[in-house]
Structure 1
Amino acid sequence: MYSSFQLAKKYLNYRLTASNGKGHGVHSPFVFDFIKNVLRDKKQYDCYTKIEAIRKELLLNKRIIQVEDFGAGSTVIKSNQRMLSDIAASSLKPKKYAQLLYRMVQYYQPKTIIELGTSLGVTTSYLASGNTSARVYTCEGAKEIASVAKRNFDILNFDNIEVVEGDFTKTLPTLFDQLQQIDFAFVDGNHRKEPTLDYFTKFLNLSTPSTILVFDDIHWSKEMEEAWTEIQQHPAVTLTIDLFFVGIVCINTSIKAKQHFSIIY
């Protein structure tokens, strides 16, 4: 994992070299459309207020739970006894990016959505709100964290979310075997190179010509940057968008030439 100083240097370089995100000079119709109708969509959708109320409650919740950690671990909390407010502060995706995921699902309307890393269910709630007719399969290794997420889904009255609990190495093979395709995936479950590339390969096996994959924290460590580079270079990948804190991958067969964009967000 990079230090805060290293990450800040990388972010500064990204800000200096990335496109301004206004669409000027972007010669990809897909990316221009994405910037105009998704990235720069400033509308305050109804679900934002309800889900952010859940986030606010979690940030104030002092309940302590037992957490099993199967991934690369928290960068902030080292104990397995963790306060919900601390988990919320360190692991919930900021609303800027969680709401971007909502807009992506709302705009592209994927039917089968996978999330690796439920955490407390805030991002899952945005994914499920984007297309209420979609099926969202969200995977969480820690039982008590999954339990809190389920409570939040009940509060928000979701009926299109299925929580898959347990170590990904045991739960994912069964899940992938039962799915016919994956239209959209958000990966925030294991910040290591080999597992990330393994997830990517499994997604490819179930991808369609319009599948979109979103990887969290692509610049979190040298390993994650290596994984991101390998994903970009894969023959099946036709387009990637680097927003620094997340990376977007398209398996779009209508795009003839491989394209990579870095956009300020």
Structure 2
Amino acid sequence: MSIQHQIDLAKKYLRYYLSAGNRHDVHSPFVFSLIEEVLNKKAARPEYAPMETLREQLLQSKDIVNVTDLGAGSLTGAGTERKISDITRHAAKPPKFGQLFYRLVQYFKPAYVLELGTSMGMSTAYMAKGRPESTIYTIEGCPNITAKAKANFASLGLTNVRQFTGNFDDVLPQVLAQVTPDFVYIDGNHRKEPTLDYFRQCAAKASEHAVFIFDDIHWTPGMEEAWKTIQDDERVTLTIDLFFIGLVFFRKDFKVKQHFTIKF
């Protein structure tokens, strides 16, 4: 990330922080409950400890992995050899977002979760731990990273994760042919057109009670354009902008399309 990109992102975040609302600015009972029962429940839980212990181990790791495909928009920079610690530091979502994913799957109780972009598996692990009854389908472009994530899942005792490796363009249709996900986390490719393509493929199979999460919706002008296109999609009835991620809902009981920007 260039210095200018960091400055631009910081300016965007400041605008978001100064303008974002909270539960008192929301007149939707659904969104109010989501804020009260999920977004604002940020206190530490013992259940988070295994993932954060793993995170510390990965950050201290001296291991190097040969990366064959991180995908466009990777946050870890160029090069084929990567330190596990660098991948974890730059590509894994911070603890508060992993913990949010944990609470979201507990709250919405999806049967099938689909994640595009496994990386070291931190977000995957939080979702898998959050609801062991759910099956997590996660796709990663790099075989060596898939292997590292598999070892991480084993260390956490996770048995409800199904891993797939390959280009999202090839693998996503195969996974969607097997399962209809009701909780989707789209990460791993931070460009406008691929993001919209993955959204359309997943939305075509989604039920009205599905929850979609998009990563880095303000990362670039292209990602902001993608986010606006998603908001405008006729199937989408509600979105919540948390700056670093965006939540998308398709519920037909929302008679009027609503978009919220909430401080998180």
The TM-score range, normalised by the shorter chain, is over 0.9
1:255 paired residue number? 254
- Is the contact between residue 92 and residue 123 of structure 1 (CA under 8 Å) also seen in structure 2? yes
Alignment of 1:1-265 (within 5 A): 3-19=5-21, 21=22, 23-179=23-179, 181-265=180-264
Q: Which deviates further from its counterpart, 167-176 or 86-95?
A: 167-176
Give the match's secondary structure for 2:185: strand
Separation of aligned partners in 2, 1:70 and 1:76: 9
1:216-259 CA-partner distances (Å, limit 9, x unpaired): 00000011000000000001000000000000000111111100
The offset of 1:79, in angstroms, is: 1.0
The normalised TM-score by structure 1 is 0.96
Name segments (4+ residues, structure 1) moved above 2 Å: 42-47, 73-77
Q: Residues 204 and 75 from structure 1, CA distance in 2 versus in 1: closer, same or farther, beyond 3 angstroms?
A: closer
Cα shift at 1:44: 2.9
Opposite residue 249 of structure 2, the aligned amino acid is C
Distance 1:47 1:206 in 2: 32
- Gaps of at least 5 residues in structure 1 are none
Deviation at 1:87, TM superposition (A): 0.8
Contact 2:242-2:261 within 8 A present in 1 as well: yes
Q: State the secondary structure of the residue aligned to 1:139.
A: strand
User: C-alpha offsets along residues 12-36 of structure 1, whole Å, 9 cap, x if unaligned?
Assistant: 11111110x2x11311111100000
Give the conservation status (yes or no) of the 8 Å contact 1:210–1:251. Answer: yes
Contact 2:73 2:188 in 1 (8 A): no
Percentage of matched positions with identical amino acids: 46
Per-residue deviation at 1:155? 0.8
- Give the AA of the match of 1:143: P
Please tell me whether the aligned partners of residues 117 and 186 of structure 2 are also in contact (alpha carbons under 8 angstroms).
yes
Tell me the TM-score normalized by structure 2.
0.96
Amino acid at match of 1:37: E
CA contact (8 A) 2:73 2:191 kept: no
Shift of 1:129: 1.1
Alignment partners' CA distance in 1, 2:24 and 2:89: 36
Q: Distance in 2 between matches of 1:26 and 1:90?
A: 33
Deviation of 1:90 after TM superposition, in Å, equals 0.7
CA drift of 1:74 comes to: 2.9
RMSD: 1.2
1:106-165 Cα shifts (integer Å, max 9, x gaps): 111111100000000111000111111111000000111111100011011111100011
Q: 2:199 & 2:50 partners in 1: Cα distance?
A: 32
Aligned partner letter, 2:189? N
- The answer to whether the Cα contact below 8 Å between 1:70 and 1:167 also exists between their aligned partners in 2 is no
Is the contact made by 1:109 and 1:130 (CA closer than 8 Å) also made in structure 2?
A: no
- Per the TM alignment, residue 7 of structure 1 is displaced from its structure 2 partner at its CA by 0.5
